[in-house]
């Protein structure tokens, strides 16, 4: 079992802009995007032991988080006065994704991302322990300050120095995608999926 330092500061696992801003938005409450009410379900004992060893304290309770965009297993873990979000790989794809996330959290540190409380591996499957943002504000609805905050964060991310490979190099896309649209925009614009730029 391998573990990284308990606290690695703040990093950038991807363009989770709304999640990054959620902690600064006091209004509104919503659980993890795309997830239902967390279920009371404990993780495998090996993972629970690894996180207890990492944090040097026993979690009070676990709640399984349903939903999300990958097959990774997810829990909210109660740690006394705070909670944390645990993500654990369950497939080859999620193993690669969470390994990538671990690498980025270990090398990039910025104020606009959730805090990383620690990371490790159990039975060859990586996990990561992040700041819980489930009680932040998750638009929609959007308002002008929210949009301005996101645009400011995008600007900060754009200006942030990073030696990591761009996403297209780290995880190549199966097609040229938007490059094809840029080269010949008419078919896309004819779908009426996007307004024509002025």
- What is the structure's pLDDT at 9? 34
* Domain assignment of residue 196, yes or no: no
- What is the structure's pLDDT at 17? 38
- pLDDT over threshold 70, residue 122: yes
- pLDDT over threshold 80, residue 149: yes
Maximum alpha-carbon separation in the chain: 58
C-alpha to C-alpha distance for 120 and 48, rounded to whole angstroms: 12
* Domain assignment of residue 192, yes or no: no
How many structural domains comprise the chain? Answer: 1
Q: Are 68 and 86 in contact (CB under 8 A)?
A: no
- What is the structure's pLDDT at 144? 94
3-class DSSP assignment, residue 194: coil
* Domain assignment of residue 127, yes or no: yes
* Domain assignment of residue 109, yes or no: yes
* Domain assignment of residue 179, yes or no: no
**Residue 8 CB contacts under 8 Å (≥ 6 apart), including other chains:** 105, 106, 109, 116, 118, 119
* Domain assignment of residue 163, yes or no: yes
Q: Which residue range forms the structural domain that includes residue 42?
A: 1-172
What pLDDT, in 10s, does the model give residues 29-61? 333 443 444 444 788 889 989 988 888 888 888
- What is the structure's pLDDT at 99? 92
C-alpha to C-alpha distance for 112 and 21, rounded to whole angstroms: 7
* Domain assignment of residue 195, yes or no: no
Record the tokens describing residue 153, joined without a space. 């964060």
- What is the structure's pLDDT at 167? 53
Give the helix ranges, DSSP H, for the chain: 17-22, 45-55, 92-107, 144-159, 167-170, 178-183, 186-189
pLDDT confidence tier of residue 19, bands split at 50, 70 and 90: very low
Q: Are 63 and 41 in contact (CB under 8 A)?
A: yes
pTM over 0.75: no
Residue with tokens 């307004």: 195
- pLDDT over threshold 60, residue 137: yes
- What is the structure's pLDDT at 181? 84
- What is the structure's pLDDT at 173? 53
* Domain assignment of residue 178, yes or no: no
Percent of all residues in the chain with a pLDDT value above 90, rounded to a whole number: 21
């Amino acid at each position: 079992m391998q573990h990284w330092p308990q606290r690695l500061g703040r990093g950038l696992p991807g363009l989770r802009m709304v999640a990054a801003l959620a902690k600064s938005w006091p209004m509104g409450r919503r659980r993890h995007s795309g997830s239902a009410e967390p279920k009371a379900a404990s993780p495998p004992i090996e993972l629970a032991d690894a996180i207890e060893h990492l944090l040097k304290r026993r979690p009070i309770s676990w709640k399984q988080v349903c939903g999300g965009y990958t097959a990774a297993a997810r829990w909210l873990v109660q740690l006394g006065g705070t909670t944390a979000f645990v993500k654990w790989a369950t497939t080859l794809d999620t193993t690669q994704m969470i390994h990538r996330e671990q690498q980025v959290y270990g090398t990039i540190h910025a104020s606009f991302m959730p805090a990383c409380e620690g990371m490790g591996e159990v039975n060859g499957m990586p996990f990561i322990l992040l700041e819980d943002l489930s009680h932040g504000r998750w638009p929609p609805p959007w308002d002008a300050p929210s949009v301005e905050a996101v645009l400011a964060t995008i600007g900060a991310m754009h200006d942030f120095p990073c030696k990591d490979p761009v996403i297209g190099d780290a995880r190549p896309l199966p097609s040229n995608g938007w490059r094809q649209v840029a080269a010949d925009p008419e078919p896309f614009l004819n779908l009426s999926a996007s307004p024509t730029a002025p």
